[in-house]
Amino acid sequence: MHAKHLLAAVAAVTTMSLGSLEAQSAQLFSGQVSLISVAPSGEAYEGMTSGVGFEAQLRYTPSALSIGIGYQSSTHDVEMGEGFGTIDATISGVFVEPRYVLDIGSASWAPYISARLARLTQAADLDDIGVKVSASGTQFNIGGGALVRLSPRVNLDLGLTYGKIDFDDGVITVDGEKFVVAGTGGSGNNLVLRAGVTVGIR
């Protein structure tokens, strides 16, 4: 399903009658900090292992449908092949995440469905030769999770998403000068597990 189709479907759901959703944040604005585990796969992530990191977001919650804007980052090892060893790499960037909480009649927890559109950069520093390599791409994930009410202002968020990213051509930076390497773009997939805490602001 294309991103625009999913977002249109989520928006359409908001026209339905909404019941009590007390497990959703009771405040109009909230902040969330989460630990994430990212498992990349596909040609764009060849040799890259799973990694851990964090994300932080601000969320606007006028109803069962909420919108989050945030930043995520994770650290990974990349196997360069025999004789070249392993280097450290990061995947980081900004995202927008619409989320729709399903009313199951519980005041203590509620499941949700979500989508995420992100602009991420995969980067590594080759310190031995003073070179940095990077590539940026647009990622789209879908998934869901559960919100568990810990207090009137605090929720535990447990989530999982799966998605695809298409990277632009890679960039090599040498002594501050950047060179685009044509034909090095590629696609990849990722599975992201999230455990975080949401705190209502007001």
Torsional class of 47: left (φ above 0), alpha (ψ -120 to 50), beta (otherwise): left
- Residue 17: per-residue pLDDT: 32
Alpha-carbon Rg for the chain, nearest whole angstrom, is: 19
Question: What is the percentage of the chain residues whose pLDDT exceeds 90?
Answer: 71
More confident: 47 or 33: 33
Q: What is the pLDDT of residues 58-97, one digit of tens each?
A: 999 999 999 999 999 999 999 877 767 788 999 999 999 9
- Residue 162: per-residue pLDDT: 98
- Residue 35: per-residue pLDDT: 98
Ordered domains of the chain (ranges, CATH): 3-10+28-200 (2.40.160.20)
Residue 185's identity, in one-letter code, is G
For 2, phi then psi, to 5°, come to: -70, 155
Locate 10 and state its tokens.
Answer: 């989520």
Mean pLDDT score across all residues of the chain: 87
Locate 94 and state its tokens.
Answer: 């900004």
H or E stretch including 3? helix 3-13
146 has a pLDDT exceeding 70: yes
- Residue 4: per-residue pLDDT: 45
> Residues 6 or more apart from 10 whose CB is under 8 A from it?
65, 98, 100, 113, 115
10 has a pLDDT exceeding 80: no
CA distance 99 to 70: 13
